[in-house]
Structure 1
Amino acid sequence: MRFVIVTGMSGAGKSTALKMLEDAEYFCVDNLPISLIEKFAQLTMDGTEGKIKKVALGVDIRSGEVLADLQAVLEKMSLSGIRYEILFLDANDETLVKRYKETRRSHPLSGKGRVESGIQKEREQLDFLKKQADYIIDTSQLLTRELKSELDKIFIQNQEFKSLMVTVLSFGFKYGIPADSDLVFDVRFLPNPYYIDELKRLSGNDEPVYDFVMGFEAAQIFAGKLVDMIRFLIPNYIEEGKNQLVISIGCTGGKHRSVTLANELYRRLEDSGEYGIRIEHRDIEKDAVRKGM
């Protein structure tokens, strides 16, 4: 039997993950009292005559002070031969605060105080679970369908888990550098297709713009050196336990050069089996919206 403990930061997607696992025919239980977890695990293993083969159990900060007792429960389960896996859903503080404000919910540990203080307290209390987690998924940049895809790979297709999710992000400097960037690269040194009449209304997703930008030797050299550096950095990030890497590539408006180079970087990295990778173009439509193009 596969027994998965689903936990993580409030607002990071635990409830959504449980629903997805339920759709994948996992028997799901949320917020079971800590004192009953071992008995529940034993019962599903021995008392269901093999009818239940996949279980997902939600555990989070709602357990209150007794959450600290979970460590002893997990140790007893291991000694009893009960095998379990821990899935930890995480997100950066900025994303969590934004989600709470959008839903107008209060953080379970913030009381009448600031959401940020509640998040910090929760991180401290859940730290022991994150350290023991078999899978850590950072949902800061993930769409719902991308989270489902990651869960399918781990818990349905039984593929090897890729602990690092790399996001290649194009942006325009005039709209600001993305706040969650880990690495930022400026490609404004390349000739700008914006000043070519037949390319102005196109984007880096269009072949004529790609051919124009990548037709310059400087673009080819930059792309090669960037890929070499990222391939060097990623194994070191993985070794340090980093689970989210945002590589931001910017030009003036985020429509031509940055999109082209972001696509090129994604293309050269996407076949690696060491990490997950996604691409996003933050500002590609903004000029069109502002100018009514």
Structure 2
Amino acid sequence: MPDHPANEQRLILVTGPSGAGRSTAIGALEDLGCETIDNLPLSLIPRLLDGPPLGRTIALGVDVRNRDFSANALIELIDTLTADPRVALEVLFLDCRTDVLVRRYSETRRRHPLAPAEAPLEGILREADLLAPIRVRADALIDTSDFTPHDLKAELAHWMGATPAQRLSVSVQSFSYKRGVPRGVDLIFDCRFLRNPYWVPDLRVLDGRNPRVAAYVEGDPRWAEFFERLSGLVGFLLPAQTDEGKAHLSIGFGCTGGQHRSVAVAEKLGDTLEGAGWQVSRRHRELERLRPPGQ
């Protein structure tokens, strides 16, 4: 486990959608030597820091079942703890695909906390939208969709033992300017100057993950220079951010509808960064709103 100054308390906030494995993660972190507490009211968390550091990591489970939970309250708490010189804060977000969450709720026959009288899917979609601004603030994101409990425990053991540089993760995401700029994004690039596949009837119904759409966007005469400068800038910034001790960099790409150009650029940069060895997570805000369950 990485060392921290004697006067600094390492604190991990473990969050993510219900059913993604938070309880398993809290148990695994306890086995790894952390002091763990689950579902502590957000208003009580700062009081844990009264007095000297414990000498071991504190891991707190936080989600919509916390008594005074709200996305804004959690973001304010993250900001407060980040600014506190006594704390070395890390936000660990456990994510999971919608279809897998639906299946897990079906198998356990549990009610979703945000849809106690409705189908679990309704609560899953509400929770995904509620947690979106927190997801982009995460220092580490682990997708548990294809994990067994044993796999998740092994991944956490690796993550806890890694150095800060090894844990640096990058989030690339697309969005529509019509719905506003997402919160918590470090860098934002406007892709509306690229030619728009929306005006090509055969491409309109597709999105930027489709090779035909990507090829159309990359056919813009300005594409080659744009992407060379973009990848060069990000490639320069990531090691610099690592040197400063940052564990996460969020990069947003916007276009008019958030389905074609911004998606294509985010996917291309994600592929480039993964090829260079960086840990990359992807999110396409508008596509997630349109995606049918199970896809």
TM-score, normalised relative to structure 2 = 0.60
Query: For the structure 1 residues 10 and 193, does the alpha-carbon distance in structure 2 shift closer, same or farther, using more than 3 Å as the test?
Result: closer
**Whole-angstrom CA distance in 2 between matches of 1:235 and 1:197:** 42
**Aligned with 1:262: secondary structure?**
helix
**Aligned with 1:277: secondary structure?**
strand
Match of 2:201 in 1: 197
State the AA in 1 paired with 2:173: L
The reply on whether 1:233 has 2:237 as its aligned counterpart is yes
Q: Is the 8 A contact 1:163 1:238 kept in 2?
A: no
TM-superposed deviation, 1:181: 1.6
Any unmatched runs of 5+ in structure 2? Answer: 3-8, 94-133
Q: Is the 8 A contact 1:171 1:281 kept in 2?
A: yes
Query: For the structure 1 residues 88 and 232, does the alpha-carbon distance in structure 2 shift closer, same or farther, using more than 3 Å as the test?
Result: farther
| 1:62-211 mapped onto 2 (5 Å cutoff) | 67-71=49-53, 74=55, 86=57, 102-103=64-65, 105-106=67-68, 115=73, 119=77, 123=81, 127-130=85-88, 136-139=90-93, 140-141=134-135, 145=143, 152-156=154-158, 162-211=166-215
**Aligned with 1:283: secondary structure?**
helix
Q: Is the 8 A contact 1:9 1:123 kept in 2?
A: no
Q: Is the 8 A contact 1:164 1:243 kept in 2?
A: yes
TM-superposed deviation, 1:222: 1.0
2:34 corresponds, among 49, 53, 56, to 56
State the AA in 2 paired with 1:271: G
**Whole-angstrom CA distance in 2 between matches of 1:257 and 1:220:** 14
Query: For the structure 1 residues 277 and 116, does the alpha-carbon distance in structure 2 shift closer, same or farther, using more than 3 Å as the test?
Result: closer
1:242-286 CA distance string (max 9 Å, x none): 22321111111011111111110101001334x521111111365
Q: Is the 8 A contact 2:34 2:58 kept in 1?
A: no
TM-superposed deviation, 1:127: 4.3
**Whole-angstrom CA distance in 2 between matches of 1:230 and 1:145:** 24
Query: For the structure 1 residues 227 and 144, does the alpha-carbon distance in structure 2 shift closer, same or farther, using more than 3 Å as the test?
Result: closer
Aligned-residue RMSD, C-alpha: 4.4
Query: For the structure 1 residues 178 and 115, does the alpha-carbon distance in structure 2 shift closer, same or farther, using more than 3 Å as the test?
Result: closer
| 1:35-46 mapped onto 2 (5 Å cutoff) | none
Query: For the structure 1 residues 269 and 151, does the alpha-carbon distance in structure 2 shift closer, same or farther, using more than 3 Å as the test?
Result: farther
Query: For the structure 1 residues 146 and 224, does the alpha-carbon distance in structure 2 shift closer, same or farther, using more than 3 Å as the test?
Result: farther
**Whole-angstrom CA distance in 2 between matches of 1:124 and 1:283:** 29
Query: For the structure 1 residues 260 and 87, does the alpha-carbon distance in structure 2 shift closer, same or farther, using more than 3 Å as the test?
Result: farther
The reply on whether 1:20 has 2:25 as its aligned counterpart is yes
**Whole-angstrom CA distance in 1 between matches of 2:178 and 2:268:** 22
State the AA in 2 paired with 1:58: T
4+ runs of 1 displaced by more than 6 Å? 10-13, 87-90, 147-151
Query: For the structure 1 residues 63 and 189, does the alpha-carbon distance in structure 2 shift closer, same or farther, using more than 3 Å as the test?
Result: closer
The reply on whether 1:268 has 2:268 as its aligned counterpart is no
**Whole-angstrom CA distance in 1 between matches of 2:26 and 2:73:** 29
Please say which of residues 263-272 and 58-67 is displaced more in the overlay: 58-67
1:37-63 CA distance string (max 9 Å, x none): xxxxxxxxxxxxxxxxx5332268858
Structure exhibiting the larger radius of gyration computed from Cα positions: 1
Q: Is the 8 A contact 2:25 2:156 kept in 1?
A: no
Match of 1:252 in 2: 256
1:92-145 CA distance string (max 9 Å, x none): xxxx8xx6xx547227xxxxxx95898389728964241xx7xx3453326663
Query: For the structure 1 residues 159 and 146, does the alpha-carbon distance in structure 2 shift closer, same or farther, using more than 3 Å as the test?
Result: farther
TM-superposed deviation, 1:156: 4.4
* Count of paired positions: 228
**Whole-angstrom CA distance in 2 between matches of 1:159 and 1:124:** 20
| Percent of residue pairs identical | 25
State the AA in 2 paired with 1:227: S
TM-score, normalised relative to structure 1 = 0.60
Q: Is the 8 A contact 1:167 1:279 kept in 2?
A: yes
**Whole-angstrom CA distance in 2 between matches of 1:21 and 1:10:** 8
TM-superposed deviation, 1:189: 0.8
Match of 1:277 in 2: 280
